[in-house]
Amino acid sequence: MTGGSRRPTACLRWCLVTFAVVSALCVSGPALYWKIKKGFFNLKRSLPSCPPCVCDCPPPLSLLQIAPGLANLSVTDCGSSDPDLKKEMEKQLVDLLTEELKLQDAVALEHAQHMNATLAEARRVASQYQGEADKCIAATETCEAARQHAEALLIREKKVTSLWERRARRLGWEGK
């Protein structure tokens, strides 16, 4: 390590240590504060305490005294003027459960229809891709057959060329 690369590492390490100490104090500081404060109160309790204070305070106000209009409201009056809500509240539990099951069936049917449509689309696209793949395979096989045919022709041409070259050399040709 060079001297230049140690300085940023040491600075980073110092920052991390500082961050860890500050974080620990933020997390455990309030608990330590209350422990210490509770300890001081325990010391005060062991010391002789002053007599209890005698207060001549008025009694606390009740909710009815603060907001008298709240006493007139009752849960049974809630929605009594709305005929739809009144009709809904009069339904029996069995009716409500039956309606909930019908809603769940409707949602499940809609979900199944969506899934069937998605599956049909996926099959259509897969069939299209399979057709394209079949075309590619056929084209590849055609190209491979043409390559093999061209390779066979080249081998035959090399043999013919070699034969003519030998004949030419026998007759006195001094080529390459």
Q: Of 71, 70, 88, 92, which is closest to residue 79 (Cα–Cα)? A: 88
Dihedral angle computed from the Cα positions of residues 122, 123, 124 and 128, in that order, rounded to the nearest 10 degrees: 100
C-alpha span between 79 and 89 (Å, rounded): 9
- pLDDT, residue 47, reads 54
pTM: 0.35
In a domain, 151, yes or no: yes
Number of domains in the chain: 1
Digitized pLDDT (tens) for each residue of the chain, 176 residues in all: 455 566 778 888 898 899 998 888 888 888 778 778 777 555 555 555 667 777 777 777 776 677 666 655 555 556 567 787 777 777 777 888 888 999 999 999 999 999 999 999 999 999 999 999 999 999 999 999 999 999 999 999 999 999 999 999 999 888 77
The answer to whether residue 143 sits within a structural domain is: yes
Residue 39 lies in a domain: no
Q: Return the number of other C-beta atoms located less than 10 Å from residue 32's C-beta.
A: 10
**61 found inside a domain:** no
Structural domain for 138, as ranges: 134-166
Residue 115: inside a domain: no
| Residue 144 belongs to some domain of the structure | yes
Spatial distance between the Cα atoms of 7 and 11, rounded to a whole number of angstroms? 6
In a domain, 158, yes or no: yes
Whether 73 is covered by a domain: the verdict is no
